[in-house]
Structure 1
Amino acid sequence: MMELDGVTHTYDTAPVVEDLSLSVESGEVVAIIGPSGVGKTTLLRILALFIEPQTGTIRFGDTDVWGCSDGERLALRRRIGMVFQEASLFDATVGRNVEYGLKVRRSWRDRLSDGLSEVLRSNGTPETVEEALGVVGLGEQLDQHAKSLSGGEAQRVSFARALAYDPDVLLLDEPTSDLDPRNTAVIEEAVAEARNRGIGVVIATHDMHQAERVADRVAVLLDREITEVGPTDTVFESPADERTAKFIDGELVY
């Protein structure tokens, strides 16, 4: 689905990530683990096509992302969803917040104009909005004002907003770092649902237990590079790189 090869990015003169190679397939969850400040967010922003790295290539399917036209790249970016660490919702209802992603991408309006099966509620909200909210356990809050939500509920709405337009790749940046166990569990269940829908999910987290729970593969980001990537059980139980082993055992201090 998406592949990075030899990617390096530098802020000013300081390299943030160096010579990174990573892939994500349809219907799998890849966890990027590493300490705070190691470059996980930068890596996600590169995957989201927000940042053009100085070196390396990024492929989306058969397309060289930074070798195609601006219009083609925009179309690819619209196939990627991202949920940030802190929810940012509009001054509107929960339903309208989730619908926003569909409107920006013009996806549900295009499907309607193409004559495909898409049903609108009586208030004009696509059924996909209600379905996405149901995945995160907020189906009954469709008409509730977003500003009245708790922090955990707001983050669940952010996840639903990204899920509603059915992205090919979903990027999650520490999505549960400030959440209580209940909201964390709901988000992790939603990650599993995204996988079941064939979406490739990349989650950046410093919580190794979360990576063990949700990920099919784990990439360890240390010292600006991916020291190891592989099946979750293998990386945690039999790491091949000494730095990975020390990080997992808590011996590396940052």
Structure 2
Amino acid sequence: MIRLSNVSQAYGEETVVEDVTLSVDPGEVVAVIGPSGVGKTTLLRILALFTRPTAGTVELDGQSVWSADEDERLQLRRRVGTVFQEASLFDASVARNVEYGLRVRQPWDDRLRDTLWSIVGSNGTPKAVKRSLDVVGLSDKLDQQARSLSGGEAQRVSFARALAYDPSYLLLDEPTSDLDPRNTGVIEEAVLEARDRGIGVVVATHDMHQAERIADRVGVLLGDGFTEIGPTETIFENPTDDRTQQFISGELVY
């Protein structure tokens, strides 16, 4: 699992994340909900091993991330994929954009060539690329220029790029913000398929209905950390903390 223990993050005098403990198992979806400004994105950056927390520990499958040397930490970081709120695609084909995830996450050596590049489809595209585009319903757009896609399609390509190298954990920061229902539905189905593959998924979202649809567990993040984390049905129907109930019902406004 990936685990945060008593993690805090401060920037100068401002504490953004405070005393957070969270674990994510392979093959589960954890949704982090909460208002803007409570540290959801910062929490994802810590989980992605981009940001070293001010306090607390981060472990990946029992290994302390920030106690590891730089090379070990790089190998750990390569096991975690991130999809940001806004798609960031290169001026190249859809296939090349997805292929980029393989290049940067896998060592460029014989193992990569043997496992990915020699196993290609009839058009020379690595099967890992086509398989991940199949998941998001875009395998028919392999050769299309990525910058000609709609916003929803571009976000689906970003998801496919993160999925292509088969990460152990996948982190999604508001992945369907401002998307239409069709693209939202495709990405939610892709999240569930990633879970079925054994990938641990963390979704930071403002959309509580989305959390209800796709999450196995939900954490409610407010200004002083999680009020509670638990099974989705429990959080939405029988929370134990008054602040959780107030937030879900719309009574608690930050």
What's the TM-score once normalised by structure 2's chain length? 0.96
Alignment correspondent of 2:131: 131
Q: Is the 8 A contact 2:117 2:126 kept in 1?
A: no
Distance 1:91 1:115, change over 3 A: closer
Residue identity matched to 2:83: V
Q: Is the 8 A contact 1:170 1:202 kept in 2?
A: yes
Q: Is the 8 A contact 1:15 1:224 kept in 2?
A: no
Report how far residue 181 of structure 1 moved: 0.4
Alignment correspondent of 2:36: 36
State the distance in 1 between where 2:34 and 2:248 align. Answer: 9
Alignment correspondent of 1:156: 156
1:138-167 deviations in whole A, cap 9, x for unaligned? 010000000110000000000000000000
Report how far residue 117 of structure 1 moved: 9.8
1:16-39 deviations in whole A, cap 9, x for unaligned? 010000000000000000011111
Distance 1:110 1:25, change over 3 A: farther
Alignment pair present for 1:70 and 2:73: no
Gaps of 5+ in 2: none
Determine what percentage of the aligned residue pairs are the same residue.
Answer: 69
Aligned length, in residue pairs: 254
Distance 1:113 1:133, change over 3 A: closer
SS, match of residue 219 in structure 2? strand
How do residues 47-62 of structure 1 correspond to structure 2 at under 5 angstroms?
A: 47-62=47-62
Report how far residue 124 of structure 1 moved: 3.6
State the distance in 1 between where 2:109 and 2:141 align. Answer: 23
Q: Is the 8 A contact 1:102 1:108 kept in 2?
A: no
Alignment correspondent of 1:84: 84
SS, match of residue 23 in structure 2? strand
SS, match of residue 240 in structure 2? coil
State the distance in 2 between where 1:83 and 1:100 align. Answer: 14
Q: Is the 8 A contact 1:33 1:208 kept in 2?
A: yes
Gaps of 5+ in 1: none
SS, match of residue 31 in structure 2? strand
SS, match of residue 167 in structure 1? coil
Residue identity matched to 1:234: T
How do residues 232-247 of structure 1 correspond to structure 2 at under 5 angstroms?
A: 232-247=232-247
1:207-228 deviations in whole A, cap 9, x for unaligned? 1000000000000000130110
SS, match of residue 178 in structure 2? coil
Alignment correspondent of 2:145: 145
CA RMSD, Structure 1 to Structure 2 (Å): 1.5
1:191-214 deviations in whole A, cap 9, x for unaligned? 000000000000000110000000
Alignment correspondent of 1:225: 225
Alignment correspondent of 2:197: 197
Alignment correspondent of 2:26: 26
State the distance in 2 between where 1:202 and 1:176 align. Answer: 14
What's the TM-score once normalised by structure 1's chain length? 0.96
Distance 1:115 1:56, change over 3 A: closer
Residue identity matched to 2:133: L
